[in-house]
Amino acid sequence: MPCYEVNLVSVEFRAENEELLKKAVVGLGWQYEKVADAVYVNDGQIYIVNGQARSESQASINTLKRAYSQEVVKAAARSKGWVGSWSGAVTSNKLQASFKKF
């Protein structure tokens, strides 16, 4: 009987704020192109419509999720008067933040 259990969960990507999405994409060094209601990221590798991303590469979407989440946290912290420092990279699975009031 194994003493561990592996659970896989999927997180739906909903980019509600286009400005923060663009910051995340540019921060990754990827290309951002908006055509009508669709956004093409990294030469069309990721296609976003109504905030939902589609791609053949789940790793690319996961990297974009982390980058977008980081931008959302930064914006929320700024709005509350907090400043943060980050360790780790968005492209890795380990990203930590610490915040203090300024």
77: phi then psi, degrees, rounded to nearest 5: -65, -45
Provide the number of structural domains found in the chain: 1
Contact status, residue 84 vs residue 74, Cβ threshold 8 Å: yes
Residue 41 structural domain: 18-101
20: phi then psi, degrees, rounded to nearest 5: -70, -35
Mean pLDDT score across all residues of the chain: 81
Contact status, residue 37 vs residue 30, Cβ threshold 8 Å: no
Residue 43 has a pLDDT of 80
Burial of 82 (0-12, 13-18, 19+ CB in 10 A): middle
* pLDDT tier for residue 66 given thresholds of 50, 70 and 90: confident
Q: Within a domain: residue 8?
A: no
pLDDT digit string, tens, across residues 68-83: 988 988 888 888 888 7
Q: Within a domain: residue 10?
A: no
Whole-model pTM: value is 0.75
